Amino acid sequence: MTDWSRIVQEYGPIVRRTVYRLLNDEADASDCFQDTFVAALKVSRAQPVRNWPGLLKRLATARALDRLRHRCKEGPQISQLPDGLDVASKAVGPRQVAESAELADWLRRALAEIDARQAEIFCLSCLEELDYRHIAEQLGITVSNVGVLLNRAKASLRERLRAFAPTTSAERCRREVRP
């Protein structure tokens, strides 16, 4: 019998971080948190779970991306950088903090626009830092397929984020000075 209180206590912080990092909204993150554990309950009834953290990260990522897609289609803008993303903490001044927040916003929108499987693999690899083998195991695909889909995801994101391409201060100054 599965000890759900132990599982939620032990892995709840991982799920919370995963969904909040993608959604940057406490209400949506709470809903996704619950949805993730409901989905995990269904999976555990159908088959034995060998890797709880991997399963929960995969389910949390998929639920958060679904909610992000839905939210982006409806139009509300994502305005803040989440506490879970460390991009802003590495920024030196207000301009860098603003650029980091804007980049995080663009990345969320781009993730909502690309193929769902590619977005999921990108998040599991680049945000959750799972290796190809664990991602393949969780998604029921080959390690090679993970690599291919991750490369496609990066190419799609690169294309969508190209417009964001930050410029250097010197380039900004040249543009501002030109008549």
**Which domains are seen in the chain, by residue range?**
4-177 (1.20.140.160)
Asked if 113 and 160 touch (Cβ cutoff 8 Å), the reply is yes
DSSP string of 62-83?
Answer: HHHHHHHHHHHHH-PPP-S--T
pLDDT at 25 over 50: yes
How confident is the prediction for the chain on average, in pLDDT? Answer: 84
pLDDT at 175 over 60: no
pLDDT at 112 over 70: yes
pLDDT score for 100:
80
Provide the whole-model pTM: 0.74
pLDDT at 88 over 80: no
Q: Give the count of beta carbons closer than 10 Å to the beta carbon of residue 158.
A: 11
Distance CA 79, CA 153 (A): 24
Local confidence band at 81 (pLDDT 50, 70, 90 cut-offs): very low
Q: Is residue 83 classed as helix, strand or coil in its secondary structure?
A: coil
> Cα torsion for 71, 81, 85, 29, to the nearest 10°?
-40
Local confidence band at 102 (pLDDT 50, 70, 90 cut-offs): confident
pLDDT score for 78:
43
Average pLDDT of the residues in 23-29:
93
Distance CA 142, CA 154 (A): 18
Question: Running DSSP on this structure, what letter comes out for residue 78?
Answer: P
